[in-house]
């Protein structure tokens, strides 16, 4: 993989390669699960503690072959009896049903060992299943040790086995390193058992795709596409609409309800849940996000958020962890929300940052508002009541509270609480300096335009422009704040 990350920890649609294998094995209900670790052992152990704490990691300090690895695993369960299942750690497409069928076939045949095989289009690099004239397993040959005839065989060893524990232990003690790689091959157990007159068997997988592993990032990408197609088909058959499956990526850990619609270029990751009739996409990424029934998320990114039933998000919104939208709330274009609750029917339509805030029901937040939550050391909270109307270009310097039904004027920096039903005005008084452009920017296009306008006013008999401007401003100062809040607020 040419990576600092061990191969089995590379991610694939919601789980690591190892996580997928453990998930396929889990329904067997094994008494013990042992994971042989080598390269990157500490990283693998840490991952196991998170995803499979009941699994036992066993260190293979020297990489002396698959037979050696299984012998080390069995030493960790000296009292283990019955059927032992061995699975490679890089077969993420393996289904639990296939592993279960292997065990059933093995036990019904009372075999000492059973190998899972598959017929593949191109067997290059894989061990071959060699059968005798009666179709029974004769031997499993690694490609490096195969002759020309054997290399032409397309039935391959999937690297997944079922063994009788007692007979496996005995055969492992007889393994040789007399092969091209100088390793203990687990596959040699089949030849040893057959020579001893023990029954060995082959179980053929119904779909060879399940047996595919990966040894580099190109092969990993191929597996990712195959798994994507499998997941998408399964969701569509349950009643979910995927408008462009080729550009829709859904983790195996995601849940979608019937009649959800997922548009193109959408990624649903982690523990994301999408409710019935919700519309997701196009161009959406949801990570560990809950979307309620009939909600809509368009061209947006959300992490650890909750979107209530019938709520709308986007386009171009960013919901960060603990962003919570109640029923029919709206977060619009170029809005970022973090650790905040937006009440039922409340609107934050555009160009706004909402951080560490509570916004009541049916409240409207004006455009270009900022909830100033950080003083450089601590985060503080803003509370906006229900049915409030805040003006455009407001800053709420937390901690601060705006009461129910209150208004704030456009352009205000709110640093003190605004009582319920009050109008909060926190902005400098406007002052017009008449003739400034003509005097200070003479010769510019702006000055020429201003002079033409002034000349036109003079020709029409308008006089006293400076005093008239000041008189109007003074007369409307009291209501200007209210007008600013209502006229320049946005929805």
b/e 140-177 (16+ beta carbons within 10 angstroms → b): bbbeeebeeebeebebbbbbbbbbbeebbbbbbeebee
Active site (annotated) includes residue 350: yes
Q: Is 62 exposed, middle or buried (0-12, 13-18, 19+ CB in 10 A)?
A: exposed
How many residues are there in the chain?
491
Among 203, 208, 350, 468, the active-site one is: 350
Q: How far apart are CA 124 and CA 478, in angstroms?
A: 84
3-state secondary structure the chain: CCCCCCHHHCEECCEEHHHHHHHHHHHHCCCCCEEEEECEHHHHHHHHHHHCCCCEEEECCCCCCHHHHHHHHHHCCCCCCCEEEEECCCCCCCCHHHHHHHHHHHHHCCCCEEEEEEECCCCCCCCEEEECCCCCEEEEECHHHCCHHHHCCCEEEEEEEEEEHHHHHHHHCCCCCCCCCCCCCCCHHHHHHHHCCCCEEEEECCCHHHHCCCCCHHHHHHHHHHHHHHHHHHHHHCCCEECCHHHEEECCCCEECCCCEECCCEEEECCCEECCCCEECCCEEEECCEECCCCEECCCEEECCEECCCCEECCCCEECCCCEECCCCEEEEEEEEECCEECCCCEEEEEEEEECEEECCCCEECCCCEEECECCCCECCEEECCCCEECCCCEEECCEEECCCCEECCCCEECCCECCCCEECCCCCCCCCCCHHHHHCCCCHHHHHHHHHHHHHHHCCCCCHHHHHHHHHHHCHHHHHHHHHHHHCCC
CA-nearest of 432, 341, 347 to 390 is 347
Beta carbons of 188 and 176 less than 8 angstroms apart: yes
- Catalytic positions, written as ranges: 350
């Amino acid at each position: 993989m040419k990576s600092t990350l061990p191969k089995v920890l590379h991610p694939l649609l919601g789980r690591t390669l190892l996580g997928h294998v453990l998930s396929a094995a889990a329904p067997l209900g094994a008494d013990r699960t042992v994971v042989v670790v080598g390269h990157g052992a500490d990283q693998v152990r840490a991952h196991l503690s998170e995803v499979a704490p009941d699994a036992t990691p066993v260190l293979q300090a020297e990489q002396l072959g698959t037979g050696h690895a299984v012998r080390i695993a069995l030493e960790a369960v000296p009292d283990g009896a019955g059927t032992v299942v061995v699975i490679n750690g890089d077969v993420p497409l393996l289904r639990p049903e296939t592993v279960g069928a292997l065990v059933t076939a093995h036990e019904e045949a009372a075999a000492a060992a059973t190998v899972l095989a598959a017929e593949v289009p191109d067997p290059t690099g894989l061990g071959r299943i060699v059968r005798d004239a009666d179709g029974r397993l004769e031997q499993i040959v690694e490609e490096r040790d195969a002759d020309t005839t054997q290399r032409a065989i397309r039935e391959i060893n999937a690297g997944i086995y079922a063994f009788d524990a007692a007979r496996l232990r005995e055969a492992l003690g007889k393994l040789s390193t007399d092969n091209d790689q100088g390793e203990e091959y687990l596959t040699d157990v089949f030849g040893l058992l057959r020579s001893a007159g023990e029954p060995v068997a082959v179980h053929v997988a119904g779909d060879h795709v399940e047996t595919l592993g990966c040894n580099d990032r190109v092969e990993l990408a191929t597996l990712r596409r195959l798994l994507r197609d499998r997941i998408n088909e399964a969701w569509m058959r349950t009643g979910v609409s995927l408008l462009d499956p080729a550009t829709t990526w859904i983790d195996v850990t995601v849940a979608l309800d019937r009649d959800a619609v997922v548009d193109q270029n959408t990624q649903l990751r982690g523990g994301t849940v999408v409710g019935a009739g919700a519309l997701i996409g196009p161009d959406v990424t949801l990570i560990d996000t809950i979307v309620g029934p009939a909600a809509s998320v368009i061209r947006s990114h959300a992490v650890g958020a909750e979107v209530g039933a019938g709520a709308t998000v986007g386009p171009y919104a960013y919901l960060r962890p603990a962003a919570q939208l109640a029923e029919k709330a709206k977060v619009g274009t170029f809005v970022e929300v973090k650790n905040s609750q937006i009440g039922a029917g409340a609107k934050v339509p555009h160009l706004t940052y909402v951080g560490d805030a509570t916004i009541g029901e049916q409240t409207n937040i004006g455009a270009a508002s900022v909830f100033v939550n950080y003083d450089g050391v601590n985060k503080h909270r803003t509370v906006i009541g229900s049915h409030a109307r805040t003006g455009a270009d407001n800053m709420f310097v937390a901690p601060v509270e705006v009461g129910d039904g209150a208004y704030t004027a456009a352009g205000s920096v709110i640093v003190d609480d605004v009582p319920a039903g009050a109008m909060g005005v926190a902005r400098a008084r406007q002052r017009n300096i008449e003739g400034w452009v003509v005097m200070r920017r003479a010769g510019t296009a702006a000055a020429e335009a201003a002079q033409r306008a002034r000349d036109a006013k003079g020709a029409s008999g308008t006089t006293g422009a400076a005093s008239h401007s000041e008189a109007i401003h003074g007369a409307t100062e009291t209501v200007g704040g209210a007008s600013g809040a209502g006229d320049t607020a946005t929805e």
